[in-house]
Amino acid sequence: MSDTALELNPQGEAVSRIEVDQSAEWVVTIYWASSLFWLLMATLAGLISSAKLHSPDFLGGMEWLTFGRIRPVHWDTAIYGFGGTAASGTLLWLQARLCQTRIPFPKLLIAGGIIFNVGVLLGSIGVLMGQSTGVETLEFPLYAMPLLVIPYVFIVIANFRMYFTRRSSHTYVSQWYLMAVTIWFPILVVAAEASTNLGAVDGVAQAVANWWYGHNVVGLFATPTAIAAAYYLIPKVIGKPIHSYHLSLLGFWSNAIFYNWAGTHHLTGGPLPAWTITVGVVGSMMMFIPVITIGINHHMTMLGSFHLLKTSPTLRFAVMGSMVYTLASFQGSLESLRSHQEITHFTHYTIGHVHFGMYGFFAPLMFAMMYYAMPRLTGNEWSSARLIRIHFWCTLFGTALYAGAMCWAGIRQGQMMNDPAIPFLNIVAFTKPYLWLRTIAGLILFSGTIAFLINFIRIVQPHKLRFVTPTLLNTERDYKMLLKKESELKHNDK
Amino acid sequence: MMFYVFIFIWAFALIAGVTMVWLLAWAIKQGEFKNLRQGARSIFDDEEPVGMVTDYFPGEAPLMKQLEVQR
Amino acid sequence: MTSRNIGLALGIFLTIAASVTGLVIVPNWQFRELQPVKKADGTQYPVPYFGEQLKGRGVYIDQGCIYCHTQQIRMKGYGADIRRNWGTRRSVPRDYIFEKPHQLGTQRTGPDLASIGSRQPSAVWHALHLYNPQITSPGSTMPRFNYLFTEMKDGDALPAGAFPADVVKIPAPLQTNGITQLVPNDRGKALIEYLRGLNKTFPLPEAAQ
C-alpha cells in the first residue's frame, strides 16, 4: 500500500481496473475499429495519390478521382477519420483508467462515434464530387463538419464528467494533456471554420488563420493525445515511474504556450508581414524546450529497460513513437528557419516531415494504445505474435523509407527550383524515382496495417476461453479465476 | 487603425500574462509542487506494482517471472 | 480539488486565447482596411472576381489545383521566383483582398500560377495543356482534364452552343485515337478564362524593393 498514491476518495471505493476496462469495451472498441477502417481508406487514397504523382494516367481521366480531389480526401480521412477516432478512443479509455471510473454515457458516445463516421464519409464523398471548400485541411463541405463537431462535444462532456467524479486523488500528467485536448480542439475547429469557410476573414489573413488551424490540429490535438499515451504506456509496461515528474510540468506548459504559434511557418516567404512569419519561427524554435524535456523524460525512463523491447509489442510502438517525436520535432523546428525554408518550402520535404511525424510518432502511439488495451477490453488475446511483429517492422521501415526518400528529394527539388537555369520539367523528372519509392513505402505501410487488421478482427470475436499460459491477464488472481472457469466449462461439457 | 490594434495587443498580453503569473503563484500556494514524485507512482497499485512488467507478446509471458522486481 | 482543476483549465484556455488573438484576430484587423489602388486608366487593381473568371475559380477549387500549384511570388533574393519569370515583383497582401478563399498553396509540384495569365496569355495553349499536359509539356505529371472538353474527330459536328472560334486544333504529331480537335465545355472555358486573368504584375507601391 505504501508504494502507491491510490488514496480512496472518501465518497467511494476506486472502481477496479477490470470494471473500468469492461465499461469501456464497446465504446472504445467501436472508436478504434473505426480508426482502423479509416486508416485503410486513408492509406488507399494515399496510394492512389502517390501513384498519380509519378504516373499521372493511373486511374486517369475520371473526374472524381483526379489528384486534386483524392489527395485532400487522403489527408482528411487520415487526420479526422483515423486520427480523430483513434485519439478519441485513447482519450476515453486513458481518462477512465486514470480517473478510476467507468466510462459514462456509453450509448451517447457510441452514437457519437457513428455520427462522426458518417460525417467523415459524407465529407469525403463531397470532396470527390467537387464540393471541396478549397481550404487546405478544412476541405469537408459545411454540411459534414457539424457531424464531426457534435460527437466531439459528447466526448468533451464525458471527459469532464469522468474527471470531476474521479476517485483517484492525483491528476497524472497524461490527464493534463487530455484535458488540454478537450479544451483546445473545439475552439480550434470553431475559430478556423468561422474564419475560413464561414467567411469572417479574407485574403491573406485567412491564410494565417488557415495554417494556425492546420498546424494546431497536429500540435494541439494529435501530439498531446499521443504524448499522453506515451506518458502512461512507457512506465506502465516496464513497471517504472516516469523519470522526472517536475520536468513533465515544464514540458506540458512550454508545449501549450509555444506550439500554438508555430503554424505560420507554412507560409514563409509568402505575402505576409514579416512579424507573422517571425512569430511562427520563434514558436517553432522554442518547441525545442518541450521536446527536449519530454524526450528526457521518456528516454531516461526507458534506460535500463531496453531489453523489454524484445518482449513487449506495446513498448516497441510506444518507444518508436517517443523517439520519432524527438527526431521529427527537431527536424520541424529547424525546418521553420527562413534559410531552411528557402530550399524546402513548397517541396516534397514538407510531406516527408509530416509523414515522419504522423506515421512515426502519432500512429505508433495509437497502435501501442490499442495493442495494450484491446486484450484488456475484450478479455481476449492477440491471435498472432508474428502479425504484430510484421506490423511493427512494416511501420518502422515504411516510415523510414517514406521520410528518407521525400526529404532527400525535397532538398534537391528545392535547390534546383532556386536555380533558374534548370527547366522546371527537369526537376519533375528528377523527383520521379523518389515518388516511386514513396509509393513503395506506402505499400509497406499498407501491408503492416493489414497485419494489424487481421489481428484486430480476430480479437473482437466472441470469447472462446483458450490459453496455455496467460500473457496479459497476468496477475495470479486473474489466472486462478480463469482456471476455475475452464474447469467449469470442462465439467459442463461432460 | 493599427494604433488601436497595438493597444489591444498590449492590453491582452498584459492581462493574459499577469493572469498566468497569478495562476502560477496560486498553484504554488495550493501546494501543487510538493510531493510531485508521488504523482509519478499514481499509475501503479497493489495488483500492478512498481517493478511488474505488464505487456508481452501473446503466448510469451512467463507467469511467475513478471513479479520479479526490475533492476 | 476542483479549484485546482479550474486553474488548469484556465491556463490551458489562455494559451489558445492568446494564439487566436495573435494569429486569427489581429491579422484580420491589420488587413481589413486594405483597398484596391486606382490605375492611370481609371480602373482598379486588384479587381473582384465575377462572371466567367469567378466560375473558373470555382473549377480551379473543385479540381484541387492548389495541391500542386502555388499563387504567391517570393521576394527577390529569396528563392528564384522572379528570376524564373514567375512574376515581376513579390506578392503582397493587397494582391489577395478579393480572394475568397485564398489559394496561396503550399506545394510546387507544378510551377507557380500567380501571374500565369501574363506568362501564358493564349487560350489555345491553356486548352491543350489542360486537356493533355503532355502536348505542351512532355514529361509533366499533371493529370489530364479531358472531361473539361468535348473531343472531336475529323468530320464531327460542333457540339450544341459552341462557336467555330472555340475549336482548338491538336497539333498533328500529338493527336491520338483520331481525335483532332477540342472544344472546351462550360467549365473548361471558365477555367481557361480564370487562368488567363491571373496576373499580379501591376506594380504596387508597397512591393517596391
Percent of chain B with pLDDT over 90: 0
What distance in Å separates residue A129's CA from the closest CA in chain C?
8
Alpha helices, DSSP H, located in A260-362: 274-286, 288-302, 313-335, 338-344, 348-357
In the prediction, which pLDDT does A5 show? 31
The model's pLDDT over C16-52, given as tens digits with 9 standing for 90+, comes to 989 988 888 888 888 888 889 988 888 899 999 999 9
Residue at C39 is within a domain: no
What distance in Å separates residue C101's CA from the closest CA in chain B?
24
Which one has a higher pLDDT value, C127 or B30? C127
> Domain check: are C165 and C64 in the same one?
yes
pLDDT value at B71 more than 90: no
pLDDT band, very low/low/confident/very high, at A14 (cuts 50, 70, 90): low
pLDDT value at A4 more than 70: no
> Domain check: are C95 and C19 in the same one?
no
Pairwise CA distance, residues A87 & A174, whole Å: 13
The residue type found at A468 is V
Residue at C105 is within a domain: yes
Verify whether the Cβ–Cβ distance B19 to C14 is below 8 Å: yes
Beta strands in chain C (DSSP E): 37-38, 44-45, 149-153, 168-169, 179-184
Q: Which residue of A has its CA nearest to C32?
A: A202
What's the whole-model pTM score? 0.91
> Domain check: are C82 and C128 in the same one?
yes
pLDDT band, very low/low/confident/very high, at A469 (cuts 50, 70, 90): very low
> Domain check: are C122 and C50 in the same one?
yes
pLDDT band, very low/low/confident/very high, at A354 (cuts 50, 70, 90): very high
What distance in Å separates residue A200's CA from the closest CA in chain B?
18
> Domain check: are C16 and C115 in the same one?
no
pLDDT band, very low/low/confident/very high, at C174 (cuts 50, 70, 90): confident
> Domain check: are C17 and C56 in the same one?
no
What number is the ipTM of this complex? 0.93
> Domain check: are C117 and C92 in the same one?
yes
> Domain check: are C84 and C28 in the same one?
no
In the prediction, which pLDDT does B70 show? 32
The model's pLDDT over A399-424, given as tens digits with 9 standing for 90+, comes to 999 999 999 999 999 999 999 999 99
Rounded to the nearest 10 degrees, how much is the dihedral formed by the CA atoms of C153, C156, C162, C167?
40
> If interface means Cβ-Cβ distance under 8 Å, which residues of chain B face chain A?
33, 36-63, 66, 70-71
- Name every chain A residue with its beta carbon within 8 A of the beta carbon of B51: 239-240
Percent of chain C with pLDDT over 90: 61
Contact C119, C111 (CB under 8 A): no
Which of C3, C18, C33 comes nearest B16 by C-beta?
C18
**B to C CB pairs, distance under 8 Å:** 33
Contact A362, A79 (CB under 8 A): no
Angle between helices A85-99 and A106-128 (to 10 degrees): 160
The model's pLDDT over A232-259, given as tens digits with 9 standing for 90+, comes to 999 999 999 998 888 888 899 999 999 9
Domains and CATH numbers, chain A: 12-170 (1.20.120), 173-402+436-460 (1.20.210.10)
Mean pLDDT score of chain C: 91
Q: What is the span of the domain harbouring residue C123?
A: 44-207
Verify whether the Cβ–Cβ distance A245 to B37 is below 8 Å: yes
> Domain check: are C54 and C124 in the same one?
yes
Residue at C38 is within a domain: no
> Domain check: are C165 and C84 in the same one?
yes
Pairwise CA distance, residues B47 & A477, whole Å: 9
Backbone angles phi, psi at A265, to 5 degrees: -65, -5
Pairwise CA distance, residues C68 & A400, whole Å: 24
Which one has a higher pLDDT value, A245 or A437? A437
> Domain check: are C112 and C171 in the same one?
yes
Contact A463, C174 (CB under 8 A): no
Establish if C43 touches chain A: CB-CB under 8 angstroms.
no
Terminal CA-CA length for chain B: 65
Can you read off the three cell numbers belonging to residue C190? 471558365
pLDDT band, very low/low/confident/very high, at B33 (cuts 50, 70, 90): low
CATH number at residue C68: 1.10.760.10
Cell 518507444, located at residue: A319
Contact A183, C13 (CB under 8 A): yes
> Domain check: are C66 and C115 in the same one?
yes
**Which DSSP helix (H) or strand (E) runs through A49?**
helix A17-54
Pairwise CA distance, residues C143 & C114, whole Å: 20
Pairwise CA distance, residues C3 & A147, whole Å: 33
pLDDT band, very low/low/confident/very high, at A481 (cuts 50, 70, 90): low
Which of C14, C30, C33 comes nearest B20 by C-beta?
C14
**Which DSSP helix (H) or strand (E) runs through A88?**
helix A85-99
DSSP structural state of residue A82:
I
Count of domains for chain C:
2
Pairwise CA distance, residues A234 & A237, whole Å: 6
CA-CA-CA-CA torsion sign (C109, C113, C116, C117): positive
Verify whether the Cβ–Cβ distance C21 to B32 is below 8 Å: no
Which of C7, C10, C29 comes nearest B5 by C-beta?
C29
Verify whether the Cβ–Cβ distance A270 to C145 is below 8 Å: no
Distance of CA C66 to the CA centre of its chain: 7
- Name every chain B residue with its beta carbon within 8 A of the beta carbon of A308: 53
